Amino acid sequence: MKKIFLFICTISMSFLNAQDITDALRYSQQNIMGTARFRGMSGAFGALGGDLSALQINPAGSAVFLESNGSVTLSTSRIDNDANYFDGFSNNSDMNLNFNQLGAVFIYEYNKDSNGVNKFSLGLAYDQTSDNADEFLAFGRSESTATYSNSIDNYFLAEAQGIPLDLITLRSGENIDNLYSFLGENEGFSAQQAFLGHESFLIEANDLDNPDNTLYFSNIAPGVFDQEFFFESTGLNGKFTLNGGAQINQNYYIGFNLNSHFISYDKVTQFFERNDNTGSIVNEVTFTNRLSTTGAGFSAQIGGIAKVSQMIRLGASFETPTWYYIEEETTQQLETFGNTNGRALVDPRVTNIFPEYRLRTPATATGSIAFLFGQQGLISLDYSYKDYSSIKLSSDQGNVFSNVNREINDNLQGVSIIRLGTEWRNGQWSFRGGFNYEESPYENDLLFGDKIGYSIGGGYNFGKFKFDVAYDYSEQQREEEFFPGSGFTNFAVIDSYRDNFTFTLAMNF
């Protein structure tokens, strides 16, 4: 049976907890994806071109093609997560299959053997830029300290303090859906969370007889807590590119891209906690949240490649920030159980629809050099710089993101990205390898570690057709805070390992 949402509410400007530094960073990052040749060399194509995915790095690469070319790419992706939380350890893996690249470049020769403009290129391409599929389960036993209970009750207490009791109390004839919707439309996020906690008996007012009461205490006693946190996300980010390029005076290539981006991201989290602490009225808590995000954006790129000699090529490119318009929706459910009070389920059949907001991602500058050894092989190196502290959120609908923007500026930093690749040929066969490194976007790299990756690949040239295959692997560590920016600060340490097999069929025409 399909779930029916009885109420649709637009959240007021005080509902800002939906957008945080984690979301801003997620939509600002791009992974090395694309054709098998591109991935087999870890994306080190800034001074090379001649591959459709090379346009992601340097748009001048389209003019390097000797003839018109098209390609289609299929990729299998697997993510393996190790989750450490207090004394608990778990491992989860997830696999998916995507068509992550499709495109063509059309070459128009002009004054082929003379100076001036030698040829023009026109490219149309789709590239997946990020795979949002992720999953992990963290579990462990936490214990109260002298100043912190290490329980989910901290989340609801922090949101509830200062909220009048009368505001979150059901009136005669009013149901959970009505009040939850009203609070979202008129009071915002904290009032909704306070209502969930109070209605489920997780928190209680200090003075039940005073409708103006604004102080609350927990019905969970300090002690030991068995906790689980399940995280699952799906979706992908991608872009459609219109490219133009030209070869000038035989040795110089220029190009530009106009990129249309999209975001598709869905996430579900479920937190479970159990305790047998003396004095606890609530012994079990299950808190479920769902988030759905869609977005559309625009960016532009410009680049050039120069043949310095028969052996050396240099490349340079610049990608503007991407300006996104993003919409988000959430649903929530809270269930508690007490040995004396029984079970309480608070399930508002309401979708919280956030006001559309804007996200500006960082610009990227790239410098490249490649060494070519005739027809035998090549070595290529790219260096990119991206300043994540320049990320900015804004809105035309009155939302104030000053706190989030300040957190971004204080915690994120500029990063260096290095990609190194090589390719060697033996007859119709090609063999490739690569390495890539990206610094942590956080000044504190314990929150989000450096990313390291490796790749290998090969291909066979049938003449008109080429078939390539690649395998790439990357690893990164991060701290996954269960409820970012809230009063409950517990987190798991996640070691992520990703590997991909990529297959590309390309054709000259």
Task: Provide, rounded to the nearest whole percent, the portion of the chain with pLDDT above 70.
Answer: 96
Q: Are residues 133 and 256 in the same domain?
A: yes
In a domain, 10, yes or no: no
Give the closest residue to 26 by CA, choosing from 199, 257, 267, 383. 267
Mean pLDDT of 422-438: 96
399 pLDDT tier (thresholds 50, 70, 90): low
- Answer whether residue 160 shows pLDDT above 60: yes
For 193, the enclosing helix (H) or strand (E) is helix 189-199
Tokens of 311: 């052996």
> What CA–CA distance (Å, rounded) separates 256 from 222?
61
- Residue type (1 letter), 501: F
Tell me which residue has tokens 């798991």: 492
Say if residue 233 is in the same domain as residue 203. Answer: no
* 75, two tokens: 């990729």
Is 304 a member of any domain? yes
- Per-residue pLDDT of 161-179, as tens digits, reads 999 999 999 998 899 999 9
Do residues 171 and 101 both lie within one domain? no
pLDDT above 50 (res 394): yes
Give residue-wise pLDDT tens across range 457-489.
999 999 999 999 999 999 999 999 999 889 999
- Same domain membership, residue 200 and residue 67: no
* Contacts of 330 by beta carbon, 8 Å cutoff, 6+ apart: 18, 289, 290, 291, 292, 351, 352, 354
Tens of pLDDT, residue by residue over 335-349, are 999 988 899 999 999
The larger pLDDT score, comparing residue 403 to residue 483, is at 483
Q: State the pLDDT confidence band at 116, using cuts at 50, 70 and 90.
A: confident
Same domain, 328 and 392: yes
In a domain, 1, yes or no: no
Q: Last residue of a domain, which of 177, 201, 217?
A: 217
How many CB atoms neighbour CB 252 within 10 A?
15
Could you identify the residue written with the tokens 């804004």? 394
CB–CB of 201/341 below 8 Å?
Answer: yes
Q: Quick one: average pLDDT of 9-35?
A: 71
Q: Which CATH number covers residue 435?
A: 2.40.160.60
Quote the pLDDT of residue 10. 43
* Average pLDDT for the chain: 92
3-state secondary structure of 153: helix
Residues 6 or more apart whose CB falls under 8 angstroms from that of 372 comprise 310, 311, 312, 313, 378
Based on the domain organization, do 205 and 143 belong to the same domain?
no
Does residue 347 lie within any of the structural domains?
yes
Q: Write down the pLDDT at residue 173.
A: 86
Residues 272/278/281/287 CA torsion (nearest 10 deg): -10
Q: Which among 336, 339, 24 is positioned nearest to 153, based on CA atoms?
A: 336
Question: Rounded mean pLDDT of 318-324?
Answer: 97
Model-level pTM? 0.88
List beta partners, residue 241: 125, 259
**Looking at residue 58, what DSSP letter applies?**
-
Closest CA to 129 of 238, 261, 265: 238
For 86-98, the pLDDT digits (tens) are 999 999 998 889 8
Q: What is the mean pLDDT of residues 186-215?
A: 95
Residue 410 forms beta bridges with which residues?
none
Q: What is the pLDDT of residue 300?
A: 97
Distances (CA, A) of 279 to 145, 149, 221, 234, 344: 17, 14, 6, 41, 18
Q: Of 217, 236, 253, which residue sits at a domain end?
A: 217
By residue range, what is the domain housing residue 389? 16-151+220-508
Instruction: Read off the pLDDT of residues 438-453 as tens digits, 9 standing for 90 and up.
Output: 999 999 988 899 999 9
Asked whether residue 330 falls in the same domain as residue 205, the answer is no
Residues 6+ apart with CB under 8 A from 455: 39, 40, 41, 42, 421, 432, 433, 434, 435, 436, 470, 471, 472, 473
Answer yes or no: is pLDDT of 2 > 60.
Answer: no
Quote the strand ranges of 308-355, DSSP E. 312-319, 323-338, 342-346, 350-353
For residues 87 and 150, give the distance between their C-alpha atoms in angstroms, rounded to a whole number.
14
In a shared domain, residues 434 and 420: yes
**pLDDT above 70: residue 502:** yes
28 is written with which tokens? 């600002």
**Count of domains forming the chain:** 2
Task: Tell whether the model's pLDDT for residue 3 goes beyond 50.
Answer: no
The residues, ordered by sequence, that sit 6+ positions from 69 with a Cβ below 8 Å of its Cβ are 52, 104, 105, 107, 506, 507, 508, 509
Q: For residue 22, what pLDDT band results from cuts at 50, 70 and 90?
A: confident
Question: Who has greater pLDDT, 145 or 279?
Answer: 279
Q: What percent of the chain has pLDDT over 90?
A: 83
Q: Is residue 21 very low, low, confident or very high in pLDDT (cuts 50, 70, 90)?
A: confident
How would you classify the pairing of strands 357-360 and 284-307? unpaired
Identify whether the C-beta of residue 435 lies closer than 8 Å to the C-beta of residue 453: yes
**Does residue 142 belong to any structural domain of this protein?**
yes
pLDDT for res 8:
44
Whether the predicted pLDDT of 4 surpasses 80:
no
136 and 230 in a common domain:
yes
**End-of-domain residue from the set 192, 217, 242:** 217
d(CA 351, CA 290): 10
**Whether 311 and 421 share a structural domain:** yes
Do 465 and 333 share a structural domain?
yes
Q: Are residues 285 and 405 in the same domain?
A: yes
Classify residue 9: in a domain, yes or no: no
Per-residue model confidence (pLDDT) at position 6: 42
User: In the structure, what pLDDT confidence band is assigned to residue 223 with cuts at 50, 70 and 90?
Assistant: very high
Helix (H, G, I), strand (E, B) or coil at 278: coil
Is the sign of the CA dihedral 426, 430, 435, 436 positive or negative?
A: positive
How far apart CA 490 and CA 436 sit, in angstroms, is: 32
Across 227-239, average pLDDT: 95
Write out the two tokens for 418.
């290095």
Query: Taking 50 as the threshold, does the pLDDT of residue 111 lie above it?
Result: yes
Cβ-based neighbour number of residue 186 at 10 Å: 13
| pLDDT tens readout for residues 121-139 | 999 999 999 999 999 999 9
Say if 305 falls within a structural domain.
yes
Helix-strand-coil split of the chain, %, nearest 5: 15, 55, 30
CB contact at 8 A, 88 and 59: no
211/174 Cα distance (integer angstroms): 17
Distance of alpha carbon 86 from alpha carbon 142, whole angstroms: 7
Distance CA 502, CA 221 (A): 52
CB atoms within 10 A of CB 429: 11
In-domain check, residue 76: yes
The rounded distance, in Å, linking the Cα atoms of 134 and 280 is 35
Which pLDDT belongs to residue 30?
Answer: 85
Confidence band (pLDDT; 50, 70, 90) for 18?
low
